[in-house]
Amino acid sequence: MSLISSGPRVIVALDFPDADAALSLASRLNPSQCRLKVGFELFVSAGPALIERLHALGFQVFLDLKFHDIPNTVAGACRAAARLGVWMVNVHASGGRPMMETAREALESVATSGQRPLLIAVTVLTSMDDGDLAGCGVTRTVAEQAHYLATLTHEAGLDGVVCSAHEAGAFRTAFGERFLRVTPGIRPADAALGDQKRVMTPGAAMGLGSSHLVIGRPVTQAQDPGAVLTAVNREIADALA
């Protein structure tokens, strides 16, 4: 079974300050409908024990710590993530090709029965626009910089990228269907934008070429998270049909 077709397309971002809040939300969701993402704040607060508890509830976990350091340090962090049994881990593509290659090799070295966490790289954060990049000294546009970093990621042999839905279709064409396009900044049509600048609805994102959608507040802050997730999955199915 391909990386694209196996398992839920939705990744719910557990953007909570502590384990109790995250587990309370997770208990209201169905592992057949989504995977879960654990980021900086929650992991620093709750630690590896939370990953074990989410696994016990039946969820696959995307450990979203965006490693970006010298190759040896990132390799060690990736090996530690693999020992937690996470489904996916990520790095910053701007760390460079040698860093990404070393991270991939580290995961391959600890693979069990040929299985290892998927490794993807962040291109340009969806909270950034052309002006933000210019403020960091990057002269390319968001689209140009994202494509440059996605090319670097593909050459390093990683499984895919974190990118905006606005770039997903071009990446699918350039790098193939099996190269994952994990898209944050997803908002149902009636949801607030929050701090995201480059956003899209679930159906539109899937139609343009995203392979997986990261959705946070529209699900986690809903009165009925399960119902929102069901509606999102229905929209995804309609888009793929």
Active-site residue set: 66
Sorted by sequence, the CB contacts under 8 Å of residue 165 that are 6+ apart come out as: 183, 185, 186, 198, 200, 204, 205, 208, 209, 210
- Between 71-83 and 97-109, two packed helices, what is the crossing angle to 10 degrees? 30
Question: Half-sphere exposure (CA, 13 Å, Cβ side) for 238?
Answer: 10
- Between 48-56 and 19-26, two packed helices, what is the crossing angle to 10 degrees? 20
Task: Fill in the DSSP letter of residue 126.
Answer: T
* Helices vs strands, H then E, count in the chain: 11, 8
Task: Fill in the DSSP letter of residue 182.
Answer: E
Query: What residues does 186 pair with on adjacent strands?
Result: 200
Please answer whether residues 63 and 51 qualify as being in contact, where contact means their C-beta atoms are separated by less than 8 angstroms: yes
Q: How far is CA 66 from the centre of its chain?
A: 10
| Residue spans of alpha helices (H) in 84-118 | 97-109
